Chain A
Amino acid sequence: MKTCRLLSFSLFLTSMMLMSGCLSPQPKDDLFKQLGSLAGIERFVDIFIREIGESKEVRPYFEDTNLDRFREKQIEHICLLSGGPCTYTGDSIVESHKGMGVNEADFNALVDTAIRAMNKAGYSVATRNRLLARIAPLRGEVMEVK
């Protein structure tokens, strides 16, 4: 009896794990479309820049940033990450964050800022998580290695 319940619980968990891989209703790379294509991404990046300006923690890192250039490269990068038809012409992620001393808390604050911006852009939870999951692997390149 005990073994049976244990087994059924493991099966339930396993099926949950498997489902996470194959329940996605959309093909893998319609994220670009979900973000509203290039116009949607431009709108999101504008909101993102506004949110950065309002964040006490993140703003100081952008004091010397050329915002026009940042906006352009950010749009290219998100377009590329979401499977859109763009080429990224900016510096490498490591290069552009060099010497900024971004620590874990700063990175998390930036992610929180991005989430607020995605909320304001009206993206669904699913779209937000899909974009976040593609930004997350860049964490190692953004943060200062100690």
Chain B
Amino acid sequence: MRIRHTVILFFLGSLLSYIFAAPCYSNGKLLATAGTSTIEGSGGGGMVPWAMLSGYGTKDETVSSLYSTHINLSDFTMWSYGAAVSYHDRVELSASQQTIQGKENADPISMNTFGTKVRLYGDAVYSQWPQVSIGIQYKNVLDTDAANSLEAKKNSGTDVYFSATKIWLDGLLHRNTLFNITLRNSDANQLGLLGFGGDNHHRRWLWESSAAVLINRHWAVGAEYRMKPSNLSAVKEDDWKGTFIAYFPSKQLSITFSYLQLGDVAGQRDQKGPYLSLQGAF
């Protein structure tokens, strides 16, 4: 319960830092090139973290961001909210909470995720090679009944990932074009909502990718893919796929609408549905 409060405190803290820092909006980078917040709270696309830190902050700026995401699957509802702070385009700290609930009156399962991302090299737009970052996500599931009954090994776990992202200003059809590859080392079952590890596999490397095209300054379309482990023999887990359209009215706000195909989730087959996410950066 205490950790639940930590997330809310972090959220409020970021909100306060926004209120006091409001006059110094980050000028940051080109519109839409900072991406948005992933479901796990790190900066990136919808489900894949990118090498860019959340917000448009430069080497002289600190940026906070808040997000809220809602997913309506065939048999489940999922939601997530959180906050992130990016310091001088070098370090990103994030705290977020993820929840899944069956539509037939089941108890919700929540987990917390605390993330750090460090930019190791480059600028996705301006450097010759892709921007590269390393990230860590510590996750712990708060409602452990499902994880225990499915015989997951642990109730908390740590993901480590490397992301490489490049944006070409004059890319596909002369549009700004983004390509990202992420390699993640993880033992999380359904992000961690069903615990960590299992009887099939343990920790392993997983491959994730995003591609996006900015139709113009304010609109982006793209697709994402995220390989998932299938650690639990009791419930199969499929790779995640999604196609999205994102709207960036300003550097302070982004709205992402996506259609997800998540395959088998927690014993329910062929889960798909819309995803809506709002992010504010200050």
A129–B172 touching, CB < 8 Å = no
Considering the complex, give the chain A residue whose CB is closest to the CB of B213.
A16
Of the listed stretches B8-16, B44-52, B146-154, B173-181, chain A binds: B173-181
A126-B27 CB under 8 A given contacts A6-B239, A20-B168, A132-B169: no
**Chain B residues within an 8 Å CB radius of A109:** 27
Of the listed stretches A65-73, A77-85, A100-108, chain B binds: A100-108
Among B26, B31, B169, B225, which residue has the most Cβ atoms of chain A within 10 A?
A: B169
Q: Does B30 interact with chain A (Cβ within 8 Å)?
A: yes
**Chain B residues within an 8 Å CB radius of A62:** none
Among B168, B170, B171, B217, which residue has the most Cβ atoms of chain A within 10 A?
A: B170
Q: Which of A16-32 contact B (CB under 8 A)?
A: 16-17, 19-20, 23-24
B27–A105 touching, CB < 8 Å = yes
Q: Does B209 interact with chain A (Cβ within 8 Å)?
A: yes
A132-B170 CB under 8 A given contacts A103-B59, A125-B175: yes
Across the interface, A111 reaches (CB within 8 A) one of B30, B215, B223, namely B30
Interchain Cβ contacts within 8 Å, total number = 80
The count of chain B contact residues (Cβ–Cβ below 8 Å) is 35
Which secondary structure dominates where chain A touches chain B? helix
**Chain A residues within an 8 Å CB radius of B29:** 108
Among B26, B168, B174, which residue has the most Cβ atoms of chain A within 10 A?
A: B174
Closest Cβ–Cβ distance, residue B95 to chain A (whole Å)? 26
Across the interface, A115 reaches (CB within 8 A) one of B174, B211, B217, namely B217
0/1 string, B44-84, CB within 8 A of A gives 1: 00000000000000111100000000000000000000000
The count of chain A contact residues (Cβ–Cβ below 8 Å) is 32
Q: Does A11 interact with chain B (Cβ within 8 Å)?
A: no
Q: Does A93 interact with chain B (Cβ within 8 Å)?
A: no
What residues of chain B have their CB less than 8 Å away from a CB belonging to chain A? 26-31, 58-61, 89, 125-126, 168-177, 179, 207, 209, 211, 215-217, 223, 225, 227, 239, 241
4 residue pairs, one from A and one from B, having the closest CB atoms: A126-B174, A133-B170, A104-B58, A133-B169
A sample of 16 cross-chain residue pairs with beta-carbon separation below 8 angstroms, ordered by A number, consists of: A5-B239, A6-B239, A9-B209, A9-B241, A17-B179, A103-B59, A105-B26, A105-B61, A108-B29, A108-B58, A111-B30, A112-B27, A126-B173, A126-B174, A130-B170, A139-B126
